[in-house]
A and B are shown apart, each in its own frame.
Chain A
Amino acid sequence: MRNKILRLVGGRLIAGVGVLWGAATLTFLVLYFTPGDQAQAIVGGENAAPTPEVIAQVTAEYGLDQPWYAQYLSHLGRILHGDLGTSYRLHTPVTQAIGEQAGATLELALAAAVVGLTLSTVVALATAKRRRWIRGIASGSELVIASTPSFWLGILLLTVFSFGLRLFPATGSHGLQSLVLPALALALPIAGVLGHVLREALEEVLDEPFIVSARTRGLADLTVRLRHALRHALVPLITMTGYWVGALLGGAVITETLFTRQGIGRLLLSAVNAKDLPVVLGVVLLSAGIYVLLNLVVDLLYLVIDPRLRDAPATARPAVGGAS
């Protein structure tokens, strides 16, 4: 079994290297084929008026006069050494720019994940296979919340809890207080989707004979749900959560902007506006890396949830039941 896990981790890491290589190549192509002079962009964009000597110096320093394959190799080499280039706009290394913002985004993404997972799990457990009207209310509200754009939800939350009740600050990224509203704005729509998926999966499981069997042992309904049904229904839930958290860590642009929070999302937004390509490409590489990592975590969680998969062939993934 240990071998199996090592094989899986090894396989995913090799695939991950492939993904990152692909992302790095893509970033190179973008830089290489961007219209306009790269040296000009490096020294300060269109508005700068560098002397020809400066341009020549930058061109030599960045190897811009080299043939494309040499440039490509040194591009990959720099990335390997953790050098993602320098921001055109901030004039600081891209790694530093991202590093300064990553903490706030990580905080927000994790808070939203915890809130979203808890909320959806509790609601799904409480409402699966209940009377028709209970399920109707639950799935109705989930549908409404899931189809509400998070910026609109954010504005509503701001209006009520910040401007109205003055419970939480409207802006900023310091302390738990400032985390509550943005985390909720991100978590609620996804909690609606996750809750729906989890309830469907639970309802499928609750019809299984081993559930009847557990009930014939005299277990309370809640025990049956928590101890027997939930674990089976977790597979589609963590699959979706993996993708969702990945997307969040790549930057929750709208939410961060709305709540004037620091974070990767806002960094990305201003970089795109300023045509600050190194930063944009740095965020692309970061996102790719995060997806590789999360995929690995999700795959390992499958093995924790369903021990049968440990004996199955390495390529097998659990069926995502009920995720419609």
Chain B
Amino acid sequence: MTVLRVENLRVEFGGSPVVDGISFEVQRGECLALVGESGSGKSVTARTLVGLTGEGSRVGADELTFAGQDLTRLRERDWRGIRGGRIGFVLQDALVSLDPLRKVGKEIAEVLAAHTRLSGTERRDRVVELLAAVGVPEPELRARQLPHELSGGLRQRALIATAIAAEPELIIADEPTTALDVTIQAQVIGLLAGLKNQDRSLLIISHDLAVVARLADRVAVMKDGRIVEHGPTHRVLARPEHEYTRQLLAAIPAEHTKGTRLSGSTGSAGLAGSAGGSTPPVRRAAGDVVVRAEGIGKSFRGPDGKDRAAVQEVSFSLRAAETVGIVGESGSGKTTTARITLGLTEPDSGSVEVHGQGWAGLGSAARRALRRDIQVVYQDTLAAFDPRYTVAKVLGEALEVSGVPRKRRRERAVELLELVGLGVQHLERRPLQLSGGQRQRVAIARALAPEPAVIVCDEPVSALDVSVQAQVLDLLEDVQRETGVAYLFISHDLGVIYHACDRVLVMKDGRVVEEGTVEKVFRTPEHPYTQELIAAIPKLTAA
């Protein structure tokens, strides 16, 4: 039985089409995945299906029916019965999708109040049942807590509980696992798969082909508002017909992509024939130790007044032209380790040396000088820049701090841009006039300005689409080959780590539980936690 049928759906915002004539249907007990990168129109499609396309939109369709009902003719009152009652909707990132000022239980009870005849007490009981059903431990306690008091995984489960509370026939999930750690991601996927087995229909929106591979019966790949490929999951993943699907699949970093290029291009523009030429980038000899961390530890005082160890007994060394990954889930101490390495956080114990020079006891001038040797690239490319600065000013400032004389700065800025595959035409742009990938390239260029020995990359590709991520990972590799810079590469994504790193430290609860070459750690993981992590990696094979 067809639950949802969409025929030639078009959505415009201010006259420009965002969804450009797509058609699909969802059968009862079936899971369809809409896959695409940002701007492909997948989320707009999902919202249109519950009548919440947004301000200034125009929706048209030859057919838009849900359980035999024409959705294009619904009035606002009619929509209320459908939303939450017959179509459940799970938004991305429960931290912002649950009202931060309301108790989790109230959010779920709200759905029951709107769509069932249960009394207040019955609703309270049902809330606890629902939380238990989505695998939330201690549901009575959790129902009384606020979203920020729950972990990311529990929040996402609570959000799913709001979507299934009124037992809807169709559940739409927009990026249901995006902000989650890989083991939590696996649990949430398992939960959604369980719903499918209860004969409910699922429409999953995702940018991640690997995630939907475990869940979806069919996949529709969207690009620029159109569906470019549509078919059974195993066929699309195993024998993609459209060029774009092939690109998407090839761009996913994983074990088998190691040592290959992800983006399909051959070297970035600037590297092919370094145009500036006048000052060839410093090439550092491989093999010298540039960073050595010895038994570092750091505790923070929690809200309960007790000290909690964020990092304990972490030691590593990083050599020139080497990439060492730190992998772990949120709260494992990755970022604190990075901050201590950068000299931004004072460790309680242990020491970090950059080029044999420790941070401890340095005066502020010496500290600044040492900082030139160790730079950083962050995840959030928008927060990393002053929105009013042009690229020229961003790089100019970095070059000024590095002691480059004023009249050489522009020339050097262009060289840096070319090194990261941008050009002189980007000098006068401001952060908002650049795409996410371009911004991350500028961030890398800025990090390279003082010719550092090390760049700490803190989740540098986590906010990027897979094809852009591929380009940035390729770029980092090119830059390393060219300059011999070492990377301390922090990521929660094991595929990215495997692809990009030589060695890896696996962190859990502030400790390094396993370390070694990526091949050894990934193929023969010894610690149970590493085994669990690797088992949880979404695989590109159909469910």
Contacts and interface: CB of A to CB of B under 8 A. Distances in A.
Interface of A: 129, 208-210, 212-221, 227-228, 231-232, 305-308, 311
Contacts, number: 74
From A208, A209, A218, A221, name the one whose CB has the most chain B CB atoms within 10 angstroms: A218
A58 to B, nearest CB: 58
Interface string B95-128: 0111111100000001100110000000000000
Nearest to A307: B146
B99 A308 contact: no
Given A213-B97, A308-B146, A218 B159 contact: no
Nearest to A211: B99
Contact of B96 (A209, A214, A216): A209
B189 interface: no
B19 interface: no
Interface string B70-89: 00000010011111110111
A214 B110 contact: yes
A220 to B, nearest CB: 6
- Complex A-B, nearest 4 residue pairs according to Cβ-Cβ distance, in ascending order: A216-B89, A218-B84, A217-B84, A218-B83
Contact of A210 (B47, B84, B100): B100
Contact of A228 (B83, B99, B115): B99
Interface of B: 47, 50, 52, 55, 76, 79-85, 87-89, 91-93, 96-102, 110-111, 114-115, 146, 148, 159, 162-163, 166, 303
A216 B52 contact: yes
A209 B114 CA distance: 20
Contacts of A232: 101
Nearest to A208: B96
A213 B101 contact: no
A217 B162 contact: yes
Given A213-B91, A213-B159, A216-B83, A305 B52 contact: no
Contacts of B146: 307-308
Task: Say whether chain A's binding surface is mostly helix, strand, loop, or mixed.
Answer: helix
29 contacts: A209-B96, A210-B96, A210-B97, A210-B98, A210-B99, A210-B100, A212-B91, A213-B91, A213-B99, A213-B159, A213-B162, A214-B99, A215-B52, A216-B50, A216-B89, A217-B89, A217-B110, A218-B83, A218-B84, A218-B85, A218-B114, A218-B115, A219-B80, A221-B76, A305-B101, A307-B101, A307-B146, A308-B100, A308-B148
Nearest to A232: B101
Nearest to A305: B101
A133 to B, nearest CB: 15
A219 B52 CA distance: 12
Contacts of A213: 89, 91, 97-99, 159, 162
From A209, A215, A216, A228, name the one whose CB has the most chain B CB atoms within 10 angstroms: A216
A219 B114 contact: yes
A216 B80 contact: no
A311 B89 contact: no
A201 to B, nearest CB: 14
Contacts of A209: 91-93, 96-97
A273 B434 CA distance: 64
